[in-house]
Structure 1
Amino acid sequence: MPQMAPLWWEILFIMFITVFITMSAILYHNINPLQGESDATIKNNTNLNWKW
């Protein structure tokens, strides 16, 4: 039927959705160690005595 999208559009859309979901899941699970390291560096930087 002419109003239907071509098959490769649907395949690209499904692949985009799967890549987006997997990347968001990977980033969600990798945030916790990165936040721990950034908190440690922020705590180390607060101990500096700056004299302006």
Structure 2
Amino acid sequence: LVEKSLSDRVHNCPRCGLSMDRDWNAAINILRLGMQSLRMIDRSPGL
């Protein structure tokens, strides 16, 4: 996790350098967690 203030609107991954809107990144993470809990995808690292 990368801590952000409410004014920080972009997520920058320190591991891979990915840069994207923080809300879009959060939506992807929530979707992945839901799919993992339903065992629809594996738990390998991704975005």
Please state which band the TM-score falls in when normalised by the shorter chain: 0.3 to 0.5
Larger radius of gyration: 1
Which structure features the higher share of strand residues? 2
Asked which structure has the greater RCO (Cα within 8 Å, sep 6+), the reply is 2
